[in-house]
C-alpha cells in the first residue's frame, strides 16, 4: 500500500485537517500490521471521528494464516485451547481437518471438496453428518486410525462412511489403516467404505481378506444409502 492510496481513502471519506492526517496514518499502519503478522484479515470496527476531529479505533479483529504461525511465535503463544473444541484440537495434532457437527453419520474423506459433497449426499439420503473430517492427500494408516479414534469419540456417531478417491493418496494405504483401526479400536458401529482410484482393487482385496466387518459400497449414492440405513438400524 502506498501513501497516495491512503490519502485517496481519506479523501473519499470526506476527512479534512487532523482527521485526514490521522486516518492516513492509521491506514498505512493497518497495512503494515496486516503484512507483518501474516494476517488474512485486519479489521478496525468501529473506526470513529470524534467531535473534536480526531480518528480513533474503538475495536479491532484479526484473523491469522495458520500456515504462517510457525514464524509468528508471539501470536501463536496467545492461543487459548480452552476456547476451542477438544476434538478439533486433538485432530490438529495429527494434521486432520476436523469440524464437529450435530448428526449421527461419521465421515472420513480425503479432500475438502469431496468432504462437502459427501455431507450433501448423506443429507439427500435422509441422514445427518456428524462431522467434517478431511484426512488430506498424504493419509497414512496411522492417520486413518487417528481419524477413526476422533470420530468415535463423538457418542452421537451411529455409523461411519469412509469415502476416498485415490488420487494422491493410495486406496490400499487407506484400507490398511481401516483394518488396523477396526482391529485396535474394536469398532461398535457399522463402517461403510467406498474406495475409488489409485490401487482401488488392491484395497478391496485387503478389506475382503482382513476378516473385519466392513460394508463395501460402489459409488457415492450407494455409500450414502448404506451408511444412512446402518445409522438408522434398518
Output the pLDDT for position 192: 92
Instruction: Spell out the SS3 assignment of 13-80.
Output: CCCCHHHHHHHHHHHHHHHHHHHHCCEEEEEECCEEECCCCCEEECCEEEEECHHHHHHCHHHHCCCC
The pLDDT of residue 120: 93
- List per-residue pLDDT tens for the chain, 234 residues long: 999 999 999 999 999 999 999 999 999 999 999 999 999 999 999 999 999 999 999 999 999 998 899 999 999 999 887 877 777 777 777 778 888 899 999 998 888 888 899 999 999 999 999 998 888 766 667 777 888 888 888 889 999 998 888 776 778 888 888 888 888 877 778 889 888 888 888 888 888 888 777 888 888 999 999 999 999 886
Quote the CA–CA distance of 206 and 180 in Å, as a whole number.
Answer: 11
The helix-helix angle for 220-232 and 112-124 (nearest 10°) equals: 60
As a whole number of angstroms, the distance between CA 219 and CA 25 comes to 58
Specify the pLDDT at position 137: 65
- The reported pLDDT for the residue numbered 234 is 61
DSSP string, 123-141: HHTT--B-EEEE--TT--H
Residue-level pLDDT at 138: 62
Half-sphere exposure of residue 49, counting CA atoms within 13 Å on the CB side? 13
Per-residue model confidence (pLDDT) at position 189: 86
Alpha carbon 126 to chain centroid, angstroms: 24
Q: Determine the pLDDT at residue 214.
A: 83
pLDDT of residue 83: 78
Amino acid at each position: 500500500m502506498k501513501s497516495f492510496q491512503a490519502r485517496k481513502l481519506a479523501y473519499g471519506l470526506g476527512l479534512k485537517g487532523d482527521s485526514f492526517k490521522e486516518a492516513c496514518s492509521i491506514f498505512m499502519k493497518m497495512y503494515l500490521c496486516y503484512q507483518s503478522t501474516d494476517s488474512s484479515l485486519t479489521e478496525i470496527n468501529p473506526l470513529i471521528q470524534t467531535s473534536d476531529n480526531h480518528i480513533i479505533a474503538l475495536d479491532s479483529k484479526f484473523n491469522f494464516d495458520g500456515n504462517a504461525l510457525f514464524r509468528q511465535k508471539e501470536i501463536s503463544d496467545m492461543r487459548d485451547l480452552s476456547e476451542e473444541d477438544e476434538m478439533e484440537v486433538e485432530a490438529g495434532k495429527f494434521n486432520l481437518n476436523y469440524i464437529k457437527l450435530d448428526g449421527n453419520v461419521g465421515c472420513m474423506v480425503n479432500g475438502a471438496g469431496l468432504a462437502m459433497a459427501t455431507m450433501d449426499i448423506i443429507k439427500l439420503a435422509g441422514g445427518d453428518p456428524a462431522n467434517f473430517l478431511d484426512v488430506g492427500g498424504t493419509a497414512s494408516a496411522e492417520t486413518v486410525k487417528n481419524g477413526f479414534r476422533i470420530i468415535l469419540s463423538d457418542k452421537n456417531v451411529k455409523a461411519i462412511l469412509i469415502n476416498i478417491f485415490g488420487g494422491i493418496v493410495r486406496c490400499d494405504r487407506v484400507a490398511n489403516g481401516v483394518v488396523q483401526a477396526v482391529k485396535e479400536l474394536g469398532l461398535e458401529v457399522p463402517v461403510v467404505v467406498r474406495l475409488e482410484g489409485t490401487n482401488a482393487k488392491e484395497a478391496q482385496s485387503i478389506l475382503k481378506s482382513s476378516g473385519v466387518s466392513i460394508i463395501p459400497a460402489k459409488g457415492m449414492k450407494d455409500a450414502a444409502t448404506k451408511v444412512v440405513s446402518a445409522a438408522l438400524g434398518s
